[in-house]
Amino acid sequence: MNVLVTGCSKGIGRFTTETLLRKGYTVIATMRAVKGIKAVEELNIFATQTKGKLIILPLDVTNQLSIDVAVQNTLQLVGKIDVVINNAGVGGTGWTETFTMSQIERMFDVNVFGIQRMMKAVLPHMRQKKQGTIINISSIQGRVVFPYSGIYTATKFALEGLTESYHYELKSLGIDVLLVEAGGFSTSFEKTQTKPNDIERIATYGNLKDLPEKVWGKKGEDKDFLPSPKILANALAQLIETPKEKRKLRTVIDPLLDGLGTLEINATAEKSQQELSKKLQWDIEHLP
């Protein structure tokens, strides 16, 4: 089975690549740059010790041409793409008002528009084959809200709606489009989240300006309480191996908070969606 993963230079993408290689998959690990990148060398060495096959390709989710070239190269090398894991993403914490518009646009460009670009690139191939699985990495913050993370939360709420629409539209065509709602894990993502750049506006918050750090910690701060990302990587492998008829639209992987709030919202939303679909007489094949 061939699995294309975005954002593999570090974090969840890196751990997922390693997990799938151990299981013997062919993994097309993509990242923005590959020349002179230490992660590339390390992954190549790792792959020689596994049953799997590794292909590393450059892919920038903010650039449609870059995506199209990577997908075309993948198809030339391995013939088909069975699974895509849209993992690449960026975060940001701070007073929501104090993020600049360029920062906001960048976050949406990666977290939402980047996935739409990927969908446009891979879906013609999957529709032709009448099969495929696409897993979009969302967050519990696509369902529940934490303060001082408003822009990131907005991107994940948007991703939830985008993915669910695809799920209904493509299910009868043999293509599974799924969401994995991840909680917090111990990765570089937590340490490198963007801080707002509107310094003058931050200053107007006075004594409250540093309050977001009390919730999210300082940039680069170690958070030893966060669980290992291997848990999420293993869950992704398990989801790929789960028969299609047993998969659900949403899978919550949140060992830190046990899906508190997220699971309840998902259950209510699923019930409401089914009732709405029945009322509007939608094709039952398009339901999760």
**Active-site amino acid positions:** 9, 138, 152, 156
SS3 label, residue 79: coil
DSSP string, 21-56: HHTT-EEEEEES--TT-HHHHHHHHHHTTSSSEEEE
CB of 17 within 8 A of CB of 6? Answer: no
Among 57, 60, 24, 23, CA closest to 40: 57
Q: How far apart are CA 231 and CA 77, in angstroms?
A: 30
Nearest to 146 by CA among 257, 241, 49: 257
- Tell me if 30 sits within 8 A of 56, measured CB to CB: yes
User: What pairs with residue 176 in β-bridges?
Assistant: 133
Q: How many angstroms separate the CA atoms of 217 and 125, rounded?
A: 43
Q: How far apart are CA 2 and CA 113, in angstroms?
A: 24
Is residue 32 within 8 A of residue 58, CB to CB? The reply is yes
DSSP per-residue string spanning 135-188: EEEEEGGGTS--TT-HHHHHHHHHHHHHHHHHHHHHGGGTEEEEEEEE---SSH
Residue 50: which region, alpha, beta or left (left: phi > 0; alpha: psi -120 to 50)?
beta
